[in-house]
Amino acid sequence: MKEEFLEPVYRELDKSNAKQSGNVIKAEDFNVAGYTKVTVEEESLGGVKFILKKDENDTIKEIKFVCSCGESKTILLDYTD
């Protein structure tokens, strides 16, 4: 019953040392950079979707505003000093 209410957690991949040769990317070229949760909320009046990216501790890392016309704006939050 507890699993029904948990948000899915996705792995973030770091591809900084991935080689760009062809269309195939090998698994050993990637590192897991962290974990993230994605939540989508939609405002009914303005047709704007809010996409929240959180880390596994529910700290918001990114807020994306997506308009029904297709344009989007992103706010990245960095908590490091």
Q: What is the pLDDT of residues 14-61, one digit of tens each?
A: 777 666 666 777 777 778 888 888 888 877 667 888 888 888 888 888
Quote the number of domains for the chain: 1
Residue 13 — very low, low, confident or very high, per pLDDT cuts 50/70/90? confident
Q: What's the CA gap between 55 and 78, in Å, rounded?
A: 12
Owner of token pair 């974990």: 35
Pick the more confident residue, 7 or 71: 71
What pLDDT is stored for residue 6 in this prediction?
66
Q: Is residue 81 part of a domain?
A: no
Q: Is residue 70 part of a domain?
A: yes
Q: What's the CA gap between 76 and 80, in Å, rounded?
A: 12
Q: Is residue 41 part of a domain?
A: yes
Q: Is residue 31 part of a domain?
A: yes
Q: Is residue 67 part of a domain?
A: yes
User: How many Cβ atoms are within 10 Å of 32's Cβ, its own excluded?
Assistant: 9
Residue 74 — very low, low, confident or very high, per pLDDT cuts 50/70/90? very high
Q: Is residue 22 part of a domain?
A: no
Query: What is the total residue count of the chain?
Result: 81
Q: Is residue 55 part of a domain?
A: yes
Q: What radius of gyration, in Å, describes the C-alpha atoms of the chain?
A: 16
Q: Is residue 66 part of a domain?
A: yes
* Three-class secondary structure of residue 28 per DSSP: helix
The domain in which residue 63 lies consists of 2-17+27-76
